[in-house]
Chain A
Amino acid sequence: MSGYRIGADIGGTFTDIVLLDEDGNVISKKISSSVENYALAIVEGLESVFAGHGVAPGEVAEIMHGTTVASNAILERAGARVGLVTSKGFRDVLELRNLRMPRLYDLTWEKPPPLVERYLRMVVDERVNAAGEVVRPLARDDARRAVRRLLDEGVEAIAICLVNSYANPVHERLIAEVAEELAPGLPCCTSFDVLPEIKEYERTSTTVVNTYVLPIVERYLRTLREALDSRGMAVPLLIMQSNGGLTPAAEAAVKPVNIVESGPAAGVVGARAIARQSGLENVISFDMGGTTAKASLIERGEYTRTREYSVGGGIMAGSRLLTGAGYLLNVPAIDLAEVGAGGGSIIRIDSGGSMQVGPRSAGARPGPVCYGLGGEAPTVTDANVVLGYLNPSFLCGGELRIDAAASARAIEAAVAEPLGFAPEHAAWGARQVAIANMIRAIRAVSSERGRDPREYALFAFGGNGALFAAGMAAELGMKTVVVPPAAGLFSAFGLLYAEIEHHYSRTVRRVLRDADPAAIDAVYRALEAQAVSQLAADGFDAAHRGHERTAMLHYQRQIYELEVPAPAGRIDRAALDTLAESFGREHERTYGHRAGAGEPVELVTAQVLGRGLSERPRVPERLSLAGRETGTGARRAYYGPALGWVDTPVVPRETLARGGGGEGPCIVEEYDSTCLVPPGVRARVDARGNLVLSL
């Protein structure tokens, strides 16, 4: 593959574009997102970058894309008019959800309205039992009646989810067949195809979300494809999935449920790649933007995935206890913990006299007070201006003016004066509270799972990540911080590192010691066959296809599962024993205890990940970034009551690349982000251009 590889990441306010050539030269650009037509925004953005750097469309090799089109369709309730066919007696599974609410003591709570209203949910008379046996056959006429009624209601897509269908999809298939007969070409998704796993609510919800966004995603990807083709870029278009792998646009259009968390995944993929290059096995990624901060764990060079998350539920307070907000999805996604803390988080004093930061955010509009766009409440960014960490006159290379005096006035009035503090001390305190809030996200992915954050390096990116990284690391006892080049654009960058991945899973509930190994072997082989056929369709030959097996297991009667690698090759008795032992070890590592050897371990889900392997590394180790202006000079910055105000040089990244780096305090001010190196912290730049802080 020769030519430019392009990463394009659409965010709420900005679309970030990164071009990489084979020699490691990088061109990057932030453009404003056009909300009316994202597809057009990308193509026009690309053309403006091409024009500025003398690149021809024919020089593009492939395009990797992270998109919020699916999640926006859900957040804005702008998906398709979907009809749902389900089993008699279970019409309301989608609406009853799992009954839980995300807040305690809240009489004003409203449930998110179901994506399919009750009158569009039809039942059919049938029954498959838990063993997969047909107890009550489905009459074709009954299926026809249900589908016809939905068509009469003018549905644009049909979702099908029957009770116990994970064990036998025969009735779902029959309904899909009838739908195709009555309405050829109408999008129709069966739960068995979307998620052949136990738990009726989770499966129904996932299937409905897939169906709900499918027509929108399909249309969007088709428009983008046509626009690219018509402008001379008939090259592969790959979409970032929530699970961290890429998938061809055509496949994403069939299973859009996999790209709902497309946006945040790319940064973690990039973090993993750079961590591997740098020889860092264990890393916690930390992505802090304007409203939220997200953390994720990378262990032995692999990120962790979750199988259950909600979209559109707002930001959880770092606690994973209270579920029930938003729309549940049970597909693999990079496991991110998110808290409502970012540059725009508002600082206030509550009625008990304690300082609160966030989760309310001033957002992009009105934004922090210092932006002068009408914001009146002081924010975390204002605190960073008062502390001298951020440039007091402008940001983004001059594109954004900063009014430092306005920040100081707001902090004084809302925080410092009521507490009787000096403004810098109040700002310092707000920063410490924001750090404490964000630590909850890091703990959720580390200590809550038995991992000690001190054994990990902190990999920081996003608009505000580098500003807080050293402070976070100090609080957590972490020794190393890594800030990649173009940290503020890193999500687009991360796309370049991703590879094609397809995930397949199946419920196979068997107690290992009583299980027939051949039956489990057959399931893994069937899942691998699915992976092989998809990868072959993507154009990977046998030498460039890889699979990994994993298993979700628990002690019999436990309800929550842990994921462990499953043995490759033929599954025999010994392989099952190995699996049981790995599970016991993982349980001990995660929760600090394991059951006795006699306690039966149960397999719940078999999973296979198929990977398309590249000839050579997707991104050269050495990159050169063009046209990156950095700030210079010096200013006073405040480092807490013990150190007070200290003169702090503003240095370009390159300075720290020479002679073994330098000692904090110093500030590295770049186009898309600012990195703070506090006193006592050493900073250097490694061979790949990463800023490495040692605490």
Chain B
Amino acid sequence: MSLHADPIDFELFKNALFAAADEMAVTVCRTTYSGVLRDNMDFSTSITDARGEVIAQGLTLPMHLGSVRTALAAVLAHYDDDMREGDVYALNDPFEGGMHLPDVFMFKPVFVNGERVAFACCTAHQADVGGRVPGSNAADSTEIYQEGLRIPPMKLLDGGARNETLWRLIERNVRIPVQVFGDLRAQLAACEIAEREIRVQIARYGLEPARAMMREMLDYTEHMTKAALSKLPDGEYDFEDWIDDDGVDFGKPIRLFVTVRKSGDRIAFDWAGSAPQVKGAINATLSVTQATSFTAIRSILPPDIPNNDGTFRAVEVTAPRGSIANMELPGACAARGLTGFRMLDCAFGALAKMAPDKVCAASDGGNVGISVGGYHADRSPFIYVDFTCGTWGGRPFADGLEGNSNLLANMAAQSVEVSEIENPVEILANELVADACGAGRFRGGAPFYRDYRMSEEEAIVQVRSDRQTHRPYGLFGGRPGAPGAVVLNPREEARPLTSKVTMTCRRGDVVRWVLPGGGGWGDPLEREPERVLRDVRNELVSPAAAERDYGVVIDTERRAVDEAATVRLRARRRAARGGGTIPFVTRDDA
């Protein structure tokens, strides 16, 4: 591609806008009042052109990429012609631009000489926006009306002055207004930073050249994406997987199905065949489905493609209206992240058929979310929200990572000690689990578990997880990972709970969640015995499992591989298999 703009000016301008988007994100991280924003990094920042196409997105939550233009389009539908300097717009309604109620989108139009030239945008997951369950993210709500305050596109600031109507409504409808207001201030400050920088850049290059370069930033990304796509094989690749259930109709699996069509320099993700939308709060908006599909393909493309909407000119994402991948009113969606993560696994399954040397087996299926909320003795409220993910499927070239965030959400863990000092919980364990990773030539990541002991008289505890009945799949002969679990009082009654649960706990109750293990990649009988030995030595694989899953005999006395016994055992295993072909996908034990 040859650029129309001067390649040097272009590089400088592009860097300046991306730096500004990152600077916005730093501000949010450093001033936020909520662990969800700082540690889980559940927010995003971006700069769009005057029409609302994202030209630069900060290095923030992948799940938000692609959502901004949908949200901004909803704002423009109402206010396009009468925006003025000092306005700031906000929304969270998933049926008019939003993703789920906790994500509050904020847009500040930037004017130069009275003309709108860009928008500064910041989307952040608020710790609580009201509704029936503290944290506003229950998986078992059945309609949007239970989930909290719905904000259609509205003015948050009007010509620089607060729209008191909206602020007061928010104040009365959320559990901890001081926290929500603190985070709204952080979002506003981020937008101001971007506004300042956009003005500096336009003053430097002039309005028209700057506009041309904004257009060119989109063209550039489109070109880079298409060039990379052209190198992948054409064809049609599909995959299906199931979510355990929606937390309302227990035991009823929900089908996800995607068809990927790759042709020349374009790729399409078609989610037709996925289940109709469900009662539980795990329905996705089309923007979630888009962000997820994009993350899947982006993860196998070269790393130097800028983050902006130019990509969507080469990637098409569709899903039938009224399906779990494109919900309609009155669908509940607070826990839609779960579906997003599971769609990523599903999309990877299809891409593994197209690019078998690049794609991993199934990961843990996304984060487990726990919220603990209620009131102290003096009736002051508390809300503790913690999302954790961390196990990858085995890869064609390496083991799956363990203790590493999911690709769809680069979340950090919250500190156990800080959680304990700020909330009425004690965390008794945070540790890897043995014999839970899917066996493979490259094994899946080992999952970990956490135990939370409640230390307030009473608390509403809500857990959102998955893959108890549908385990992370293995690829090309790799075995599936162990299922996840949620357990009440594991040391005493050890009562198993469903993957999505809302319940009242008493002081002393312990809630445990266990992440699912990553799926394995490739034939476990081909794993190097030394690697199995190392896992045994590190107590991630037991000697019994080494024999059973890998055909590797460990001499525990000598702490060494029994080479001869291993060769014999592996030969026997291979013979017992007969001449069957290695399966592409394995979802359960044979």
A350-B304 contact given A104-B62, A443-B19, A560-B30, CB 8 Å threshold:
yes
Contact, CB under 8 Å: B404 / A109: yes
Cβ of A560: which chain B residues have Cβ within 8 Å of it? 29-32, 38
A352-B411 contact given A90-B431, A95-B403, A105-B298, CB 8 Å threshold:
no
Determine whether B334 belongs to the interface, using a CB cutoff of 8 Å to chain A: no
Contact, CB under 8 Å: B416 / A95: no
- Interface code A43-69, partner B: CB below 8 Å = 1, 0 otherwise? 000000000000000000000000000
Complex: chain A residue closest to B8, CB-CB: A429
Contact, CB under 8 Å: B303 / A591: no
How far, in angstroms, from A104 to B411 measured CA to CA in the complex?
11
Determine whether A118 belongs to the interface, using a CB cutoff of 8 Å to chain B: yes
Give, as a whole number of angstroms, the nearest-CB distance from B186 to chain A. Answer: 8
Give, as a whole number of angstroms, the nearest-CB distance from A155 to chain B. Answer: 15
Interchain CB contact (< 8 A) of A559 among B32, B403, B431: B32
Contact, CB under 8 Å: A92 / B448: yes
- Interface code A85-125, partner B: CB below 8 Å = 1, 0 otherwise? 00011111101111111011111111100000111000000
Contact, CB under 8 Å: B7 / A354: yes
Chain A's interface size range is 35 or more
- Interface code B282-313, partner A: CB below 8 Å = 1, 0 otherwise? 00000000000001001111011001000000
Contact, CB under 8 Å: B538 / A119: yes
Cβ of A555: which chain B residues have Cβ within 8 Å of it? 33, 182
Complex: chain B residue closest to A429, CB-CB: B8
Contact, CB under 8 Å: B3 / A96: no
Determine whether B331 belongs to the interface, using a CB cutoff of 8 Å to chain A: no
How far, in angstroms, from A403 to B364 measured CA to CA in the complex?
56
A268-276, A431-439, A661-669: which one contacts chain B? A431-439
Number of residue pairs A-B, CB distance < 8 angstroms: 221
Contact, CB under 8 Å: A200 / B33: no
How far, in angstroms, from A509 to B417 measured CA to CA in the complex?
12
Interchain CB contact (< 8 A) of B178 among A119, A323, A599: A599
Contact, CB under 8 Å: B421 / A509: yes
Give, as a whole number of angstroms, the nearest-CB distance from A130 to chain B. Answer: 4
Cβ of A595: which chain B residues have Cβ within 8 Å of it? 182, 185
Determine whether A522 belongs to the interface, using a CB cutoff of 8 Å to chain B: no
A313-321, A458-466, A484-492: which one contacts chain B? A313-321
Contact, CB under 8 Å: A320 / B26: yes
Contact, CB under 8 Å: B358 / A107: yes
Chain B's interface size range is 35 or more
Interchain CB contact (< 8 A) of B417 among A97, A200, A356: A200
A101-B23 contact given A353-B2, A354-B7, CB 8 Å threshold:
no
How far, in angstroms, from A648 to B14 measured CA to CA in the complex?
33
B166-174, B260-268, B388-396, B467-475: which one contacts chain A? B388-396
Contact, CB under 8 Å: B415 / A443: no
Contact, CB under 8 Å: A101 / B2: no
Interfacial residues of chain A within 589-606, with CB under 8 A of chain B in the complex: 590-593, 595, 599
Cβ of A320: which chain B residues have Cβ within 8 Å of it? 26
Interchain CB contact (< 8 A) of A100 among B11, B16, B405, B420: B405
Interchain CB contact (< 8 A) of A319 among B2, B59, B304: B59
How far, in angstroms, from A560 to B298 measured CA to CA in the complex?
31
Contact, CB under 8 Å: A321 / B430: no
Determine whether B523 belongs to the interface, using a CB cutoff of 8 Å to chain A: no
How far, in angstroms, from A96 to B447 measured CA to CA in the complex?
10
Contact, CB under 8 Å: B59 / A351: no
Contact, CB under 8 Å: B299 / A107: yes
Cβ of A322: which chain B residues have Cβ within 8 Å of it? 59, 410
Determine whether A447 belongs to the interface, using a CB cutoff of 8 Å to chain B: yes
Give, as a whole number of angstroms, the nearest-CB distance from A486 to chain B. Answer: 33
B219-227, B234-242, B248-256, B563-571: which one contacts chain A? B219-227
Give, as a whole number of angstroms, the nearest-CB distance from A133 to chain B. Answer: 12
Contact, CB under 8 Å: B448 / A96: yes
How far, in angstroms, from A560 to B183 measured CA to CA in the complex?
13
Determine whether B22 belongs to the interface, using a CB cutoff of 8 Å to chain A: yes
- Interface code B1-19, partner A: CB below 8 Å = 1, 0 otherwise? 1110001101110111001
Contact, CB under 8 Å: A105 / B403: no
Interchain CB contact (< 8 A) of B31 among A108, A324, A591: A591
Give, as a whole number of angstroms, the nearest-CB distance from A694 to chain B. Answer: 22
Determine whether B503 belongs to the interface, using a CB cutoff of 8 Å to chain A: no
Contact, CB under 8 Å: B62 / A558: no
- Interface code A616-658, partner B: CB below 8 Å = 1, 0 otherwise? 0000000000000000000000000000000000000000000
Please list the 9 inter-chain residue pairs (A to B) with the smallest Cβ-Cβ separation, ordered nearest first: A89-B429, A96-B403, A118-B538, A429-B8, A100-B412, A130-B420, A98-B412, A560-B30, A559-B38
Q: List 10 A-B contacts (CB under 8 A).
A: A104-B59, A111-B401, A130-B420, A199-B418, A324-B412, A447-B23, A557-B34, A557-B182, A593-B31, A593-B185
